[in-house]
Structure 1
Amino acid sequence: MGHTYEEIKIGDKASFEKTVTETDIYLYAGITGDLNPAHINQRVAENSMFKGRIAHGMLSAGFISAVLGMHLPGPGTIYLSQELKFMAPVFIGDTIRAEAEVIEKMEKGRIRLKTACYNQEGKTVLDGFAVVLAPKNR
Protein backbone atom coordinates (compact mmCIF):
# COMPACT_ATOMS: atom_id res chain seq x y z
CA MET A 1 0.00 0.00 0.00
CA GLY A 2 1.19 3.51 -0.69
CA HIS A 3 2.94 5.18 -3.56
CA THR A 4 6.47 6.35 -4.23
CA TYR A 5 7.30 9.77 -5.63
CA GLU A 6 7.91 8.21 -9.05
CA GLU A 7 4.52 6.46 -9.09
CA ILE A 8 2.48 9.52 -8.12
CA LYS A 9 0.77 11.51 -10.87
CA ILE A 10 -0.84 14.96 -10.79
CA GLY A 11 -4.57 14.41 -10.28
CA ASP A 12 -4.17 11.32 -8.09
CA LYS A 13 -6.74 11.35 -5.25
CA ALA A 14 -7.40 9.51 -2.01
CA SER A 15 -9.83 9.83 0.88
CA PHE A 16 -10.68 8.69 4.41
CA GLU A 17 -14.09 8.79 6.06
CA LYS A 18 -15.09 8.67 9.73
CA THR A 19 -18.16 9.44 11.83
CA VAL A 20 -17.18 11.71 14.73
CA THR A 21 -18.29 10.38 18.11
CA GLU A 22 -18.51 11.91 21.55
CA THR A 23 -15.68 9.57 22.56
CA ASP A 24 -13.47 10.94 19.77
CA ILE A 25 -13.97 14.46 21.13
CA TYR A 26 -13.21 13.50 24.73
CA LEU A 27 -10.13 11.49 23.73
CA TYR A 28 -8.84 14.36 21.59
CA ALA A 29 -9.45 16.83 24.43
CA GLY A 30 -7.58 14.59 26.86
CA ILE A 31 -4.64 14.00 24.55
CA THR A 32 -4.20 17.65 23.60
CA GLY A 33 -5.33 19.35 26.79
CA ASP A 34 -7.84 21.46 24.82
CA LEU A 35 -10.78 21.39 27.22
CA ASN A 36 -12.61 24.33 25.64
CA PRO A 37 -16.27 24.18 26.76
CA ALA A 38 -17.32 24.46 23.10
CA HIS A 39 -16.18 20.84 22.82
CA ILE A 40 -16.90 19.25 26.20
CA ASN A 41 -19.64 21.19 28.02
CA GLN A 42 -23.11 20.78 26.53
CA ARG A 43 -24.75 23.45 28.70
CA VAL A 44 -22.17 26.11 27.82
CA ALA A 45 -22.08 25.03 24.15
CA GLU A 46 -25.88 25.34 23.84
CA ASN A 47 -25.47 29.08 24.45
CA SER A 48 -22.79 29.42 21.76
CA MET A 49 -23.24 30.46 18.14
CA PHE A 50 -23.31 26.74 17.20
CA LYS A 51 -26.09 25.85 19.71
CA GLY A 52 -24.26 22.69 20.78
CA ARG A 53 -20.90 21.02 21.15
CA ILE A 54 -18.56 20.94 18.18
CA ALA A 55 -15.51 18.83 17.43
CA HIS A 56 -12.06 20.38 17.65
CA GLY A 57 -11.10 21.76 14.24
CA MET A 58 -7.77 19.97 14.41
CA LEU A 59 -9.58 16.65 14.82
CA SER A 60 -10.82 17.02 11.24
CA ALA A 61 -7.34 18.13 10.18
CA GLY A 62 -6.08 14.87 11.64
CA PHE A 63 -8.23 13.00 9.14
CA ILE A 64 -6.14 14.60 6.38
CA SER A 65 -3.08 13.16 8.09
CA ALA A 66 -4.72 9.74 7.83
CA VAL A 67 -5.17 10.18 4.06
CA LEU A 68 -1.58 11.29 3.54
CA GLY A 69 0.04 8.79 5.88
CA MET A 70 -2.00 5.75 4.91
CA HIS A 71 -3.16 6.23 1.32
CA LEU A 72 -1.56 9.03 -0.73
CA PRO A 73 1.35 8.93 -0.75
CA GLY A 74 0.96 6.41 2.12
CA PRO A 75 3.25 4.75 4.67
CA GLY A 76 6.66 6.40 4.83
CA THR A 77 5.28 9.86 3.96
CA ILE A 78 6.77 12.80 5.87
CA TYR A 79 4.31 15.65 6.49
CA LEU A 80 6.14 18.97 5.86
CA SER A 81 3.42 21.64 5.97
CA GLN A 82 -0.31 22.24 6.01
CA GLU A 83 -2.44 25.33 5.33
CA LEU A 84 -5.93 25.14 6.85
CA LYS A 85 -9.09 27.18 6.66
CA PHE A 86 -11.94 26.08 8.92
CA MET A 87 -15.17 26.63 6.99
CA ALA A 88 -17.95 25.09 9.11
CA PRO A 89 -18.41 23.29 12.43
CA VAL A 90 -18.31 19.52 12.85
CA PHE A 91 -20.90 18.11 15.26
CA ILE A 92 -21.08 14.79 17.10
CA GLY A 93 -22.52 12.28 14.64
CA ASP A 94 -21.24 14.03 11.51
CA THR A 95 -19.50 11.79 9.01
CA ILE A 96 -16.42 13.54 7.70
CA ARG A 97 -14.73 12.67 4.41
CA ALA A 98 -11.14 13.90 4.18
CA GLU A 99 -9.72 14.14 0.66
CA ALA A 100 -6.33 14.88 -0.86
CA GLU A 101 -5.47 15.48 -4.51
CA VAL A 102 -1.99 15.81 -5.97
CA ILE A 103 -1.66 19.21 -7.62
CA GLU A 104 2.12 19.52 -8.00
CA LYS A 105 5.23 17.36 -8.02
CA MET A 106 8.03 19.50 -6.64
CA GLU A 107 11.79 19.02 -6.44
CA LYS A 108 13.48 16.70 -3.93
CA GLY A 109 10.58 14.24 -3.72
CA ARG A 110 8.06 16.74 -2.41
CA ILE A 111 4.39 16.67 -3.38
CA ARG A 112 1.81 19.48 -3.01
CA LEU A 113 -1.78 18.40 -2.44
CA LYS A 114 -5.14 20.13 -2.26
CA THR A 115 -6.78 18.98 0.97
CA ALA A 116 -10.36 19.29 2.18
CA CYS A 117 -12.91 17.76 4.54
CA TYR A 118 -16.63 17.49 3.84
CA ASN A 119 -19.56 16.53 6.04
CA GLN A 120 -22.27 14.01 5.11
CA GLU A 121 -24.20 16.76 3.33
CA GLY A 122 -21.21 17.60 1.12
CA LYS A 123 -20.54 20.89 2.90
CA THR A 124 -16.87 21.88 3.10
CA VAL A 125 -15.82 21.99 6.75
CA LEU A 126 -12.08 22.40 6.15
CA ASP A 127 -10.07 23.53 3.14
CA GLY A 128 -6.34 23.77 2.55
CA PHE A 129 -3.07 22.59 1.01
CA ALA A 130 -0.36 20.22 2.20
CA VAL A 131 3.24 19.55 1.23
CA VAL A 132 4.70 16.13 1.94
CA LEU A 133 7.89 14.24 1.24
CA ALA A 134 6.84 11.10 -0.60
CA PRO A 135 8.56 7.79 0.01
CA LYS A 136 11.42 6.98 -2.36
CA ASN A 137 10.68 3.28 -2.25
CA ARG A 138 8.26 0.80 -0.69
Structure 2
Amino acid sequence: MSSVTGQGHVFWEDLTVGDTLRGPGVTITDSHLVQWAGLTGDWVSLHLDESYAQAAGFAGRIAHGPLSLSLSLGLLTQTGIFGNVKAWLGLDEVRATAPVLIGDTVHPEAEVTAARPTSKPGQGIWTLAYRTVNQRGETVMTFSSSFLLRRRPGGGSDAV
Protein backbone atom coordinates (compact mmCIF):
# COMPACT_ATOMS: atom_id res chain seq x y z
CA MET A 1 0.00 0.00 0.00
CA SER A 2 1.34 3.48 -0.82
CA SER A 3 1.73 6.21 1.78
CA VAL A 4 -0.57 9.20 1.97
CA THR A 5 0.78 12.23 0.09
CA GLY A 6 1.79 14.97 2.48
CA GLN A 7 2.05 12.61 5.44
CA GLY A 8 5.04 13.62 7.50
CA HIS A 9 7.74 11.75 9.26
CA VAL A 10 8.02 14.32 12.06
CA PHE A 11 5.99 13.50 15.14
CA TRP A 12 5.34 15.42 18.37
CA GLU A 13 8.31 13.75 20.08
CA ASP A 14 10.74 14.94 17.40
CA LEU A 15 10.83 18.58 18.55
CA THR A 16 11.43 19.79 22.08
CA VAL A 17 11.43 23.15 23.81
CA GLY A 18 14.24 25.30 22.48
CA ASP A 19 14.40 23.71 19.01
CA THR A 20 14.40 26.31 16.26
CA LEU A 21 13.27 26.18 12.65
CA ARG A 22 13.81 28.47 9.66
CA GLY A 23 11.57 28.51 6.63
CA PRO A 24 12.46 29.71 3.14
CA GLY A 25 12.01 33.31 2.07
CA VAL A 26 9.78 35.07 -0.42
CA THR A 27 10.21 38.48 -2.03
CA ILE A 28 7.07 40.58 -1.68
CA THR A 29 5.71 41.89 -5.00
CA ASP A 30 2.92 44.16 -6.15
CA SER A 31 1.05 40.99 -7.09
CA HIS A 32 1.05 39.78 -3.47
CA LEU A 33 -0.61 42.99 -2.29
CA VAL A 34 -3.19 43.15 -5.08
CA GLN A 35 -4.10 39.47 -4.83
CA TRP A 36 -4.37 39.62 -1.02
CA ALA A 37 -6.63 42.68 -1.27
CA GLY A 38 -8.82 40.87 -3.79
CA LEU A 39 -8.93 37.68 -1.78
CA THR A 40 -9.76 39.33 1.54
CA GLY A 41 -11.56 42.54 0.56
CA ASP A 42 -8.89 44.56 2.40
CA TRP A 43 -8.59 47.46 -0.06
CA VAL A 44 -6.92 49.89 2.38
CA SER A 45 -4.97 52.62 0.58
CA LEU A 46 -1.73 51.94 2.53
CA HIS A 47 -1.46 48.72 0.52
CA LEU A 48 -2.61 49.87 -2.91
CA ASP A 49 -1.99 53.61 -3.33
CA GLU A 50 1.69 54.64 -3.57
CA SER A 51 1.03 58.35 -3.02
CA TYR A 52 -1.20 57.71 -0.03
CA ALA A 53 1.35 55.38 1.60
CA GLN A 54 4.15 57.91 1.10
CA ALA A 55 2.00 60.74 2.49
CA ALA A 56 1.39 58.52 5.52
CA GLY A 57 5.14 58.38 6.14
CA PHE A 58 6.09 55.08 4.53
CA ALA A 59 8.72 54.58 1.80
CA GLY A 60 5.97 53.12 -0.39
CA ARG A 61 3.03 50.74 -0.24
CA ILE A 62 3.21 48.27 2.63
CA ALA A 63 2.10 44.67 2.83
CA HIS A 64 -1.04 43.80 4.76
CA GLY A 65 -0.19 42.56 8.27
CA PRO A 66 -2.29 39.40 7.87
CA LEU A 67 -0.49 38.71 4.58
CA SER A 68 2.86 38.75 6.37
CA LEU A 69 1.46 36.49 9.08
CA SER A 70 -0.01 34.03 6.58
CA LEU A 71 3.20 33.89 4.59
CA SER A 72 5.15 33.05 7.75
CA LEU A 73 2.76 30.24 8.63
CA GLY A 74 2.80 28.94 5.05
CA LEU A 75 6.54 29.20 4.47
CA LEU A 76 7.29 27.24 7.64
CA THR A 77 5.18 24.36 6.31
CA GLN A 78 7.81 23.96 3.60
CA THR A 79 10.21 22.64 6.25
CA GLY A 80 8.13 19.45 6.25
CA ILE A 81 7.46 19.42 9.99
CA PHE A 82 3.68 19.73 9.80
CA GLY A 83 2.78 16.47 8.06
CA ASN A 84 1.44 14.99 11.30
CA VAL A 85 -0.52 18.04 12.44
CA LYS A 86 -4.08 17.05 13.32
CA ALA A 87 -5.30 20.60 13.99
CA TRP A 88 -4.14 24.19 14.05
CA LEU A 89 -5.16 25.55 17.45
CA GLY A 90 -4.72 29.27 16.89
CA LEU A 91 -2.61 32.40 17.27
CA ASP A 92 -1.59 34.56 20.18
CA GLU A 93 0.43 37.72 20.77
CA VAL A 94 0.47 38.94 17.15
CA ARG A 95 2.57 42.09 16.76
CA ALA A 96 3.55 43.91 13.57
CA THR A 97 6.87 45.52 14.51
CA ALA A 98 7.99 47.04 11.18
CA PRO A 99 6.46 47.60 7.74
CA VAL A 100 7.00 45.11 4.92
CA LEU A 101 7.57 46.89 1.61
CA ILE A 102 7.34 45.68 -1.96
CA GLY A 103 10.79 44.25 -2.71
CA ASP A 104 11.43 43.04 0.85
CA THR A 105 12.30 39.37 1.24
CA VAL A 106 10.87 37.82 4.39
CA HIS A 107 11.30 34.42 5.99
CA PRO A 108 9.93 32.80 9.17
CA GLU A 109 11.91 31.60 12.14
CA ALA A 110 10.20 29.69 14.92
CA GLU A 111 11.23 28.36 18.30
CA VAL A 112 9.40 25.62 20.16
CA THR A 113 8.34 27.28 23.42
CA ALA A 114 6.06 24.51 24.69
CA ALA A 115 5.70 20.81 23.91
CA ARG A 116 3.24 18.90 26.03
CA PRO A 117 1.27 15.70 25.74
CA THR A 118 -2.51 15.88 25.82
CA SER A 119 -4.90 13.81 27.89
CA LYS A 120 -5.68 11.77 24.77
CA PRO A 121 -3.21 9.04 23.89
CA GLY A 122 -1.35 9.55 20.65
CA GLN A 123 -1.51 13.39 20.67
CA GLY A 124 0.70 16.26 21.74
CA ILE A 125 0.77 20.04 21.39
CA TRP A 126 3.56 22.28 20.16
CA THR A 127 3.56 26.03 20.67
CA LEU A 128 5.91 27.90 18.36
CA ALA A 129 7.11 31.49 18.81
CA TYR A 130 7.42 32.93 15.30
CA ARG A 131 9.54 35.81 14.06
CA THR A 132 9.13 37.11 10.54
CA VAL A 133 12.49 38.53 9.44
CA ASN A 134 13.37 40.68 6.42
CA GLN A 135 16.52 40.68 4.30
CA ARG A 136 18.16 43.21 6.63
CA GLY A 137 17.71 40.91 9.64
CA GLU A 138 14.95 43.10 11.06
CA THR A 139 12.03 41.45 12.80
CA VAL A 140 8.85 42.68 11.11
CA MET A 141 6.30 40.51 12.95
CA THR A 142 6.08 38.22 15.96
CA PHE A 143 3.36 35.81 17.08
CA SER A 144 2.87 32.42 18.65
CA SER A 145 0.89 29.56 17.20
CA SER A 146 -0.11 26.17 18.58
CA PHE A 147 -0.66 22.85 16.82
CA LEU A 148 -2.11 19.48 17.80
CA LEU A 149 0.08 16.65 16.49
CA ARG A 150 0.15 12.90 16.23
CA ARG A 151 2.60 11.18 18.52
CA ARG A 152 4.94 8.52 17.23
CA PRO A 153 3.13 5.15 17.20
CA GLY A 154 4.36 3.20 20.22
CA GLY A 155 6.14 6.36 21.44
CA GLY A 156 7.64 6.27 24.91
CA SER A 157 7.15 8.44 27.92
CA ASP A 158 5.50 11.82 28.16
CA ALA A 159 8.74 13.46 29.30
CA VAL A 160 10.00 16.22 27.03
Same fold (TM over 0.5): yes
Which residue number in structure 1 is paired with residue 63 of structure 2? 55
The gaps in structure 1 that reach 5 residues or longer are none
Aligned residue runs from structure 1 range 25-40, under 5 A: 25-40=33-48
Pairwise CA RMSD: 2.0
Tell me which of 113, 123, 128 is aligned to 1:103. Answer: 113
Does residue 94 of structure 2 align to residue 79 of structure 1? no
Deviates further, 43-52 or 80-89: 43-52
Q: Is the 2:75–2:107 contact (alpha carbons within 8 Å) kept by the matching residues of 1?
A: no
Distance 1:67 1:59 in 2: 12
Using the TM superposition, give the Cα deviation of residue 50 of structure 1 relative to its aligned residue in structure 2, in angstroms.
Answer: 1.2
After superposition, give the CA deviation of every residue in 1:56-97 in whole Å (9 maximum; x if it has no partner): 011110122124544363124222121211100000000001
Which residue number in structure 1 is paired with residue 3 of structure 2? none
Q: Is the 1:87–1:125 contact (alpha carbons within 8 Å) kept by the matching residues of 2?
A: yes
Using the TM superposition, give the Cα deviation of residue 14 of structure 1 relative to its aligned residue in structure 2, in angstroms.
Answer: 2.0
Distance 1:13 1:123 in 2: 18
Distance 1:135 1:68 in 2: 18
The one-letter code of the counterpart of 2:65 is G
Which residue number in structure 2 is paired with residue 126 of structure 1? 141
Describe the SS at the equivalent of 1:74.
coil
The one-letter code of the counterpart of 2:116 is M
Q: Percent identity?
A: 30
State the TM-score, normalizing by the size of structure 1. Answer: 0.88
Which residue number in structure 2 is paired with residue 45 of structure 1? 53
1:95–1:2 CA distance, 2 compared to 1 (3 A): farther
Tell me which of 105, 119, 127 is aligned to 1:112. Answer: 127
Distance 1:46 1:121 in 2: 21
State the TM-score, normalizing by the size of structure 2. Answer: 0.77
Tell me which of 82, 98, 101 is aligned to 1:88. Answer: 98
User: Runs of 4 or more off by more than 3 Å in structure 1?
Assistant: 67-70, 135-138
